[in-house]
Structure 1
Amino acid sequence: MSLYHHLDISNAEELLQHGNLVIPKKVHKDQDWTLEQLQEHLQWAVDIELYTIPFYMAAMYSIKDQGAEARRLLRSVVNQEMLHMQCAANIANAYDTQLVIRAPSYGGTVPHLNFALDTPNPTEIFTPYSTAIGPLDVERINTMCIIEYPNWDACSRENNGTTDEYGSIGEFYQAVSQGAKVLAEFIQGNVRQVGHFSALYPEVESMTITKDGKAGLPQVESLINLIVDQGEGLGERKQYVASKYQNRIDDLQPSWDHFEKFSYLREQALPETYALGFGNDRSREVQQILLKHFGDFLVAMNTVFRGGEVPDFAAIMYKVGGAIAACWENGALPVFSKTSTTTGARS
């Protein structure tokens, strides 16, 4: 059963209301995995990937120069986060997870992860940082580095077996991979699978899961590897993206994983970004327009990953991007949920 089973997935107003949800606890032993626990982990995998998309998009559109290197690098990351969300959803659907995609919550801690479990703790390295939606600045870049922080020491941490939390996205996906392997008999091929982005990655055998049971496990593992490899990479001494997971069509640095791209931006001069105003009727108007389009995006995502058709999905994404840009151009902070502050005020 979905953690959001009570929500109407066709109602944008409901999907724009984010809430506090129970985070699935870490499973320490193979014999302790249940299908319900794996489904909870897979719902959260989709949530993690969605969380990054508005955060990165808002920072990207805050850059005035559309041809700036930083903007182009961020765009490549946003596109891959959309792919990661699709991959996570395909895995979830292969295990018959009833997904619901709703507005993320920003401004608190990065959801699902306890970075204090990492050695070293990335929040002590990449500081100051902020999880609030904002322009591309030192705080936002540091947060991006924290989110994509490589899981270099996860396997050797002594407290790894005593905590119910995960310290990084890499460690989280290690658990998902193990749970998927233990429960491979439950894999169902061709269940609500979405195959966009295939043209950008011709070396990837399949972006969808088409086989049942253990025969489908290599496809599941390939999608997990794609997510991890493009995101935080494989380790301290192997910070590059495997050839088959590289987008050589429109990625400025196809061999760089997300952590490497953000680390690079951290060392560069910040590009000029739009300034926030003090709030007026126009800023509130463009924020409401963004909420409308982002609500449409959430409905579209729920429809697609429930097996429905959205013929104008590209147009929906274009409108979200345009509305984010309009917010910045009018001195308004982009907002992505009904419980966000909808004023164009400076912080």
Structure 2
Amino acid sequence: MTTPPSPTIATLKDLKAALQLAVGLELSTVPVYLTALYSIKEGANEDAQQTIRSVVMEEMLHMTLAANVLNALGEHPSVKPVDFLSHRNVKPVPEYKDTYESPVIAGIGKLALLPLSPAAVEGFVRIEHPLHGAAQVGDIVCPTDTFPTIGTFYEAINAALKSRAICPDSAFRSDSPQVRDREYYGGAGQVITVTNRDTAMAAIEKIVDEGEGLPEKRLNEPAKELPVTTKDVLNSGWKMYSHYARFRELQTGRRFRTGQLARETPAGSLLLVDYDAVHPAVHVQRNGSTTGGYEGAALNEFDLAYTQLVDDLYLAFSGGKKKVTYTMAGKVVTDLKDPLPLAVHGMYALKNKAVALMRTPKPGDPGHTLCPRFFYADAEQRTKLKDEIKQMRGAVQ
């Protein structure tokens, strides 16, 4: 079967929808990587932890960059469904049930929430490979108006940004809400403030260079030297390189030697991974085998915490403020807070909940523990989750 040419983005409306989906695309990989990261037992696999954590922080950076471009075009990032090309009511925020499949990018395949394991790392490499593991782009079967790879998706976005017929100069707002570099918490890479066409394209190119959009030609370039710039060096002196190269090191158990090409097998120093030093977590679907008791309540509480984190991130990307109520000196005080620091605190709280789940035995399944679901709940679902928590906790008192 011959894969049809990748679709093009021909209108400003579809460009904005594509950017909404780009924010969600970057978010979609975060649960995959965090599940593996949080499954590592305390004190174990420090090199693997550093690798995965560094990629997660850059995925958050990429979300921020896509959001800045969208804001510059006069539209805020939103969790509401969008129409894109012939697709209708596409949800930007990924829905993890058992697995998740991108509605607009065919080559990624199914993303699964797995503890750190050879299968999990193989999935990481497939996500970040320019062709998602295919030998050639023509091997990827694409439904109508679906892109074969993340790279071709971002190429279409960049082409639309470059076209004045699709995206005129008047579409850019110099006064739009922006997450600025001094506000970004993470230490990985640099946020680009987007005010015009050039900075918008630079932001997309930054996403592509560091992450999943890595062009196929980069496989024939040195894995550890490109596209690193002086701005991609952390305070520790560690130089960032592509996600694909970092995960290949994790997969093979060796670092790339200086000068080795990204398509080659890493042949440098050892990067040992102990897959036994990992909690044996198993994903539990909503309304699955674990629906009651403290275990079910803990799973629901994680979902609510994750939902709140996503909401705080999207509010921060949109330049909004969050209403926070607290007690000070015996008085109830309501204040407006910047949601980005709240989201950072939410990440730490989420980690604690995830680790607690992964230490909790899965009822009826000896030898396995619970796995966080990363379920994003809408308003109606949140009420249901809260009601279920009360029932579950009440049933075991």
The reply to whether TM is greater than 0.5 is yes
Question: Which residue of the partner structure matches residue 332 of structure 1?
Answer: 370
Alignment of 1:68-87 (within 5 A): 68-87=46-65
In 1, distance between residues paired with 2:142 and 2:306? Answer: 39
Name the counterpart of 2:12.
35
Alignment-derived partner of residue 258 in structure 1: 243
Deviation at 1:148, TM superposition (A): 1.1
RMSD of equivalent CA atoms: 3.4
- Paired residue for 2:152, among 132, 149, 171? 171
Output the CA distance in 1 between the equivalents of 2:353 and 2:142. Answer: 45
User: Unpaired segments of 5 or more residues in structure 2?
Assistant: 80-91, 254-272, 283-288, 321-337, 361-368, 389-397
- CA distance in 2 between counterparts of 1:160 and 1:59 reads 29
Q: Contact conserved, 1:198 with 1:207, CA < 8 A, in 2?
A: no
Q: CA deviation at 1:254?
A: 2.8
Give the direction of change, closer, same or farther, for the CA distance of 1:104–1:270 in structure 2 (3 Å limit).
farther
Aligned to 1:197: 184
Q: Equivalent of 1:59, from 26, 32, 36?
A: 36
Q: CA deviation at 1:305?
A: 2.1
Offset of residue 189 of structure 1: 2.1
Shift of 1:199: 8.4
Cα-to-partner distance string for 1:45-76 (whole Å, 9 max, x where unaligned):
01100101111111110111445211111000
Per the alignment, residue 267 of structure 1 pairs with 252
User: Hey, what does 1:230 align to over in structure 2?
Assistant: 210
Equivalent residue letter for 1:241: P
Distance in 1, matches of 2:294 and 2:370, equals 9
Task: Give the distance between the partners of 1:250 and 1:79, measured in 2 at CA.
Answer: 16
Question: Would you say 1:114 and 2:114 are equivalent positions?
Answer: no
Farther-moved stretch of structure 1 (192-201 vs 148-157): 148-157
Deviation track 1:64-123 (CA, whole Å, cap 9, x = no partner) reads: 1445211111000111111000001111111123421364223143442122xxxxxx87
Specify whether residues 163 and 288 from structure 1 end up closer, same or farther in structure 2 by C-alpha distance, changes over 3 A only: closer
8 A contact 1:141–1:265 mirrored in 2 = yes
Report the alpha carbon displacement of residue 26 of structure 1 after superposing the two structures with TM. Answer: 5.4
2:234 maps to a residue whose letter is R
Residue 353 of structure 2 corresponds to 323
SS at 1:312's partner residue?
A: helix
**Is 1:241 paired with 2:241?**
no
CA apart distance, 1:39: 0.7
Relative distance call for 1:237 and 1:245 in structure 2 (3 A) is farther
How far is the alpha carbon of 1:162 from its aligned partner?
10
Percent identity among equivalent residues? 24
Residues 184 and 139 of structure 1: is their aligned pair in 2 closer, same or farther, counting only changes over 3 Å?
farther
Name the SS of the counterpart of 2:59 in structure 1: helix
* Alpha-carbon offset, residue 198 of structure 1: 7.9
Cα contact 2:7–2:146 (8 A) shared by 1: no
Report what 2:85 is aligned to.
none
Aligned to 1:303: 315
The structure richer in helix per residue is 1
Q: 1:270 to 1:228 in 2, by over 3 A?
A: farther
Flag as ranges the 4+ runs of structure 1 deviating above 3 A: 25-28, 151-163, 196-202, 276-282
Looking at structure 2, the residues matched to 109 and 162 of structure 1 have their Cα atoms a distance apart, in angstroms, of 13
> Does 2:270 match 1:283?
no
Q: Deviations over 1:274-317 (max 9, x none)?
A: 02378573432332221121121122122112221315232112
Where structure 1 has 5 or more consecutive residues not aligned to the other structure, the ranges are 1-24, 116-121, 124-129, 343-347
Distance across 2 between alignment mates of 1:137 and 1:261: 16
Q: Contact 2:228/2:241 (CA < 8 Å) preserved in 1?
A: no
> Which one is further off, 147-156 or 188-197?
147-156
What is the one-letter code of the residue matched to 2:279? Y
Equivalent residue number for residue 119 of structure 1: none
Match of residue 323 from structure 2: none
Q: Corresponding residue for 1:127?
A: none
**How high is the TM-score relative to the length of structure 1?**
0.74
Higher relative contact order (CA 8 A, sep 6+): 1
Structure 2 counterpart of 1:21? none
Secondary structure in 2 matching 1:131: strand
